[in-house]
Structure formats: structure tokens, C-alpha cells
């Protein structure tokens, strides 16, 4: 039993938190109206001057009015963006991003801008970067654009450098400049909405002080953080650390990668609770061929009962259902089975979005409808720690498998199998060249094997070797 003292302390804490939130909201609204007022005043003033014909050149007035309108538009967009992030409505995408290529595009975008200002732009990729990562591409681009455009904006001479390194699913980006730097007392403040640097050099640059606020919020919802190290006159160093997992499911749209056909280990059971029949049948036809046992329930109560009977390894749970909502079902499942039973919420309503997976939450992940099958497999794989198995790439007629190959190809295949085990990619390439030269009929198979070598996909290479027919 809670004592009265404890209850009062709790109430006091809740009241203090509510008051603090209210005060923050008021400060925010004051800042917003201040921000809106200055461009509005400019528009108002210049419009009146225009009305008094001859008081001012229309071109000059037009410029001020246009700039003020742009400022207001940026402000409205920034405010909406912050509101979307903070309310959790922002729908994060789970894109498979070709990281090196993506960064090349970002670099291209800024190289010219920097050079036009007489700055040197450097791009340094430290060590190996994964070919593909999974994240929200647009948001990642937005973060980098904010940091890089600031670096160029607040640097008058010298250089801007973007460097990237990657380790254990985490990417470290650094944007370093030789610009005006930041005063110690501004370092934390500038991440708040509308806060700008106080130095005259900072104020001399146009801006509304929203970029870093959005950058930090975005970085956090993408599973990361932004830090800054800087001193006035000594340039700045912004560090962005982000969780950028390599996808463990081959994207169906990437023709170079073969699709998932199953997973290693014992069969797993999935319980799908959804009142929409077509949704459950999509799940069944996706998951059964991959070796999952799938049970379905059309509403929450049935799902709860079935969970006791079928002992699922994971639950896919719709939110809007007749009777108990998905959230209520999740709470009950969690209360009964604990965190050992992962729960993935599946919803068509972006307003429902809650990432999940944190302490105290009843679900572990969130997938939006219409369900992106790759994203769903990625979530299931991660929740269950599955090791996916990939099938053979479909061969176009005549591309390979054009009938049995001469027995003289046999020794080459034996050697390739051995080399694949030890991972000797160079030797594999040499052996493939010899095979192509000695046994011309093997050209289509060699082409396919080369593709797997290029992707460092030795598992698929071995599968092809196991399937070749010898005369
Ligand atoms: P804005 O640039 O529109 O003012 P930001 O939120 O992007 O808004 O940045 C907030 C403030 O942080 C800037 O006004 C500036 O004082 C400081 N700042 C950001 N990036 C840099 C940088 N690379 N060098 C120096 N100051 C910076």
C-alpha cells in the first residue's frame, strides 16, 4: 500500500511537470509570435510605403516583401516539422539506402556551393562503408543538408569537411569547418527552436534558428544524436552518430541480390491478430512459404485465447479492431508473457505511430500498412534474431543452366567450392577466368558466379555450384 505521503509527493511531481511543460509551451508561443511579427511588420510597412506612390521604389519594396514572405514560409514549414516530430505523427520510412552512392550525391550538392564561396570541400570516408543501410533516406539527407549548409554559411575562408566512418551498425558523421565558431554559452542553446548564435558574425548571416532544432529531433527519432565541439574563431565540429543497420533482408527490388527463401534453425510461430481478412491472408501467403507457422485471429479476445494455445514466437497486432484495441491486447499480452514475446504493431494510421521497444512500452516495433514486406521481414528477423537464407537468383532463359556442362568443368567447380569456404575472392576470380577460357559452354554460369563474387555473396555462389549439372 502506498502511504499518503508518497501519493502527495507523486501528485506534486505530476503538477510540477505539468507546470514546467506549460511554461515551456508559453515560451515557445512567445518565440513563435515574435518570429512571425518581424517579417509581418516589414510586409505591412513596405505595403503602406507602396500605397503612398513614389515613397519607395517598387523593386526595393518587392524584394523586402518577397524575402519576408519566404521567411514566413520557412517558419511555417519548420514549425509543422517540429510539431510532426514531437507528436510522433511523423511517419518514418524504412528505406534501403545505398550509403556510398547517397553520400556521393550529398557531396556533389555541396561541393559547388562551397567552391562558389571560395571554400575547399573535403569528403573523407574512413574505412569500409556498407553498400546498403536501412534508414529514412529523406530524413538522413535533411540532417546532413542542415549541418553542411550551416558549415558553409558560417565559414568565410578555409574549408568544410564531411567525414564518415562505420562500425557495428553505427555510422559516425562529422562536419568540420574553419568558420566563426560558437561561444561556449551558445553551444546548447542553439539546438532550441529560434535560438541563434549571439556573436555579431553569426547574426550577420540570414537564418531563423530552426535548422539545428529540427536536426537534433530528427537525429533522435532515427536512433542517434548530434553533438558539437566548437570555440569562437576556431571553427566548429558537428558530430552525428546514427544507428544505421545493414539490412538483413535482401531487397526484392535489387536485381543483384537474391530474395529470402527461409531462415536457419527451428520453425517459428507467428500469431497475426487483425480483423481484416485480406491483411491476414497477405501475411499467411508471405510467411508460410518462408517456413513460419502462422495462426490468425480476427479480434483481440480471440487473439489472447489463441496466444495461450499456439505459443507464438512473435505477434503481429493490428491496432484498430472491433472490441479490444491493439494497444489493449498488447498490454494484456505483455502482462502475461513479458518481454520474451515480441509484439509488432501494424497500423494504417500514422497518428498511431509509436516506435516502441523502450522500457515500459508494451510493444517492440511498429510497421505501417500497407505493409512493406521487406520492412516486415526485417522487423521479424531482428526481433527473433533470425539468420535469413537466400535463394538462387531466378535465371533468365538462356542466361544459365543451358543444359549440362562437360565433365572437364568438374575440377574447376571443386576448386571454387574450396575457395568459397576460405573466402579467397581473388583466387575465385582467377579460377572463373580459367573456367571460362577452358570450357566456353560455362560462360553463362561463370557470369552468374561473377555477380555473386562482386556482391561478396559466397553463400549464393556455393548454391549455384551445388546446382550445376555435369555431363
Ligand atoms: P540558423 O542558421 O537559421 O540560425 P540553426 O538552428 O541552423 O539556425 O543554427 C542555430 C545557430 O547555431 C546559428 O544561428 C549559429 O549561430 C549557430 N551555428 C550553427 N552551425 C554553425 C557553424 N557551423 N558554425 C558556427 N555557428 C553555427
The string of pLDDT tens digits covering residues 244-296 is 988 765 554 444 455 788 898 999 999 999 998 878 888 887 888 889 999 99
If you average pLDDT over every residue of the chain, what do you get?
Answer: 85
Distance 209 CA to ligand 1 centre (A): 7
Ligand 1, atom 21, residue with closest C-alpha: 150
Report yes or no: 374 and 249 within 8 Å, Cβ to Cβ: yes
Report yes or no: 342 and 384 within 8 Å, Cβ to Cβ: yes
- Nearest atom in ligand 1 to the alpha carbon of residue 177 is 23
Distance 72 CA to ligand 1 centre (A): 18
Nearest 5°: CA angle at 222, between 221 and 225?
80
Distance 197 CA to ligand 1 centre (A): 6
- Nearest atom in ligand 1 to the alpha carbon of residue 210 is 6
Q: Tell me what pLDDT residue 423 has.
A: 74
Q: Tell me what pLDDT residue 295 has.
A: 93
Distance 21 CA to ligand 1 centre (A): 26
Distance 267 CA to ligand 1 centre (A): 53
State the sign of the Cα–Cα–Cα–Cα dihedral 13, 15, 21, 24: negative
d(CA 176, CA 373): 39
Distance 187 CA to ligand 1 centre (A): 10
- Domains of the chain: residue spans and CATH: 16-87 (1.10.287.130), 95-243 (3.30.565.10), 260-390 (3.40.50.2300), 407-467 (no CATH)
Report yes or no: 380 and 344 within 8 Å, Cβ to Cβ: yes
Report yes or no: 452 and 417 within 8 Å, Cβ to Cβ: no
Ligand 1: which of 143, 155, 197, 230 to mutate, judged by most atoms within 8 Å of the beta carbon?
Answer: 197
Distance 215 CA to ligand 1 centre (A): 11
Q: Tell me what pLDDT residue 403 has.
A: 65
DSSP state of 407: G
- Residues in contact with ligand 1 (CB, 6 Å cut-off): 150-151, 154, 177, 179-182, 190, 196-197, 202, 207-213, 236
Residue 174 backbone zone (phi > 0: left; psi -120 to 50: alpha; other: beta): beta
pLDDT at 391 exceeding the cut of 70:
no
Strands (E), 214-339: 224-230, 236-243, 260-263, 269-273, 293-297, 314-318
Could you give the C-alpha distances from 289 to 221, 251, 267, in angstroms and in order?
34, 17, 12
- Nearest atom in ligand 1 to the alpha carbon of residue 180 is 25
Half-sphere exposure of 79 (CA within 13 A, CB side): 13
Please give the grid coordinates belonging to residue 313: 514466437
Please give the grid coordinates belonging to residue 430: 582467377
Strands (E), 260-313: 260-263, 269-273, 293-297
d(CA 20, CA 239): 30
The tens digit of pLDDT for each residue in 408-443 reads: 888 999 999 888 877 777 888 889 989 988 888 888
Q: From 47, 161, 50, 170, select the one nearest 111 (Cα to Cα).
A: 161
Q: From 85, 82, 375, 409, select the one nearest 245 (Cα to Cα).
A: 375
Distance 243 CA to ligand 1 centre (A): 24
d(CA 14, CA 432): 70
353 CB-near residues (< 8 Å, 6+ apart): 88, 89, 90, 91, 92, 347, 366, 368
| Residue owning grid cell 576460405 | 422
The number of residues making up the chain comes to 471
Average pLDDT over residues 79-105: 81
Ligand 1, atom 19, residue with closest C-alpha: 150
d(CA 104, CA 338): 45
Distance 190 CA to ligand 1 centre (A): 7
Question: Which span out of 82-86, 265-269, 362-366 was modeled with the highest average pLDDT?
Answer: 265-269
Q: From 194, 187, 201, 212, select the one nearest 156 (Cα to Cα).
A: 201
pLDDT at 397 exceeding the cut of 50:
no
Report yes or no: 123 and 162 within 8 Å, Cβ to Cβ: yes
d(CA 50, CA 59): 10
Residue 15 bridge partners (DSSP): none
pLDDT classification of 455: cutoffs 50, 70, 90:
low
- Nearest atom in ligand 1 to the alpha carbon of residue 196 is 14
Q: From 142, 269, 158, 317, select the one nearest 216 (Cα to Cα).
A: 142
Strands (E), 83-158: 95-97, 120-126, 133-135
Please state, for a pLDDT cut of 70, what percent of the chain lies above it. 92
Please state, for a pLDDT cut of 90, what percent of the chain lies above it. 35
pLDDT at 451 exceeding the cut of 90:
no
Ligand 1: which of 209, 210, 219 to mutate, judged by most atoms within 8 Å of the beta carbon?
Answer: 209
DSSP state of 64: H
d(CA 460, CA 395): 13
Amino acid at each position: 500500500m502506498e502511504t499518503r505521503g508518497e501519493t502527495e509527493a507523486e501528485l506534486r511531481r505530476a503538477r510540477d511537470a505539468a507546470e514546467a511543460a506549460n511554461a515551456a509551451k508559453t515560451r515557445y508561443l512567445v518565440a513563435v509570435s515574435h518570429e512571425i511579427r518581424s517579417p509581418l511588420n516589414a510586409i505591412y510597412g513596405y505595403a503602406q510605403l507602396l500605397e503612398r506612390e513614389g515613397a519607395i521604389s517598387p523593386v526595393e519594396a518587392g524584394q523586402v516583401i518577397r524575402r519576408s514572405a519566404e521567411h514566413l514560409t520557412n517558419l511555417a514549414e519548420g514549425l509543422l516539422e517540429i510539431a510532426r516530430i514531437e507528436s510522433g505523427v511523423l511517419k518514418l520510412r524504412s528505406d534501403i539506402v545505398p550509403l556510398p552512392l547517397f553520400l556521393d550525391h550529398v557531396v556533389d550538392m555541396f561541393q559547388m556551393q562551397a567552391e562558389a564561396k571560395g571554400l575547399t570541400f573535403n569528403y573523407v570516408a574512413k574505412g569500409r562503408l556498407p553498400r546498403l543501410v536501412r534508414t529514412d533516406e529523406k530524413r538522413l539527407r535533411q540532417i546532413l543538408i542542415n549541418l553542411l549548409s550551416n558549415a558553409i554559411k558560417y565559414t568565410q575562408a578555409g574549408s568544410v569537411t564531411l567525414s564518415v566512418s562505420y562500425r557495428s551498425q553505427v555510422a559516425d558523421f562529422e562536419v568540420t569547418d574553419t568558420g566563426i565558431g560558437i561561444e561556449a554559452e551558445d553551444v546548447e542553446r542553439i539546438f532550441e527552436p529560434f535560438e541563434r548564435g549571439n556573436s555579431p558574425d553569426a547574426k550577420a548571416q540570414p537564418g531563423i534558428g530552426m535548422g539545428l532544432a529540427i536536426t537534433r529531433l530528427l537525429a533522435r527519432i532515427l536512433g542517434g544524436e548530434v553533438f558539437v565541439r566548437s570555440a569562437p574563431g576556431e571553427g566548429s565540429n558537428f558530430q552525428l552518430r546514427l544507428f544505421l543497420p545493414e539490412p538483413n533482408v535482401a531487397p526484392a527490388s535489387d536485381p543483384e541480390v537474391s530474395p529470402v527463401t527461409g531462415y536457419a534453425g527451428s520453425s517459428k510461430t507467428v500469431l497475426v491478430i487483425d480483423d481484416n481478412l485480406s491483411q491476414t491472408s497477405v501475411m499467411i501467403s508471405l510467411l508460410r512459404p518462408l517456413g513460419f507457422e502462422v495462426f490468425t485471429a480476427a479480434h483481440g479476445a480471440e487473439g489472447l485465447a489463441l496466444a495461450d494455445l499456439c505459443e507464438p514466437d512473435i505477434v503481429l497486432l493490428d491496432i484498430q479492431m472491433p472490441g479490444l484495441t491493439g494497444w489493449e491486447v498488447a498490454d494484456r499480452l505483455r502482462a502475461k508473457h513479458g518481454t520474451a514475446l515480441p509484439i509488432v504493431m501494424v497500423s494504417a494510421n500514422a497518428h498511431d505511430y509509436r516506435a516502441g521497444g523502450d522500457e515500459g512500452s508494451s510493444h517492440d516495433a511498429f510497421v505501417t500498412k500497407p505493409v512493406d514486406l521487406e520492412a516486415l521481414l526485417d522487423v521479424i528477423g531482428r526481433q527473433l534474431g533470425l539468420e535469413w537464407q537466400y535463394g538462387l537468383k531466378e535465371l533468365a532463359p538462356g542466361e544459365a543452366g543451358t543444359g549440362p556442362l562437360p565433365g572437364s568443368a568438374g575440377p574447376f567447380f571443386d576448386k571454387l567450392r574450396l575457395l568459397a569456404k576460405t573466402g579467397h575472392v581473388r583466387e575465385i576470380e582467377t579460377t572463373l577466368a580459367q573456367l571460362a577460357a577452358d570450357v566456353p559452354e560455362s560462360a553463362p554460369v561463370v557470369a552468374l558466379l561473377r555477380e555473386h563474387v562482386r556482391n561478396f555473396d559466397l553463400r549464393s555462389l556455393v548454391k549455384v555450384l551445388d546446382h550445376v549439372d555435369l555431363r
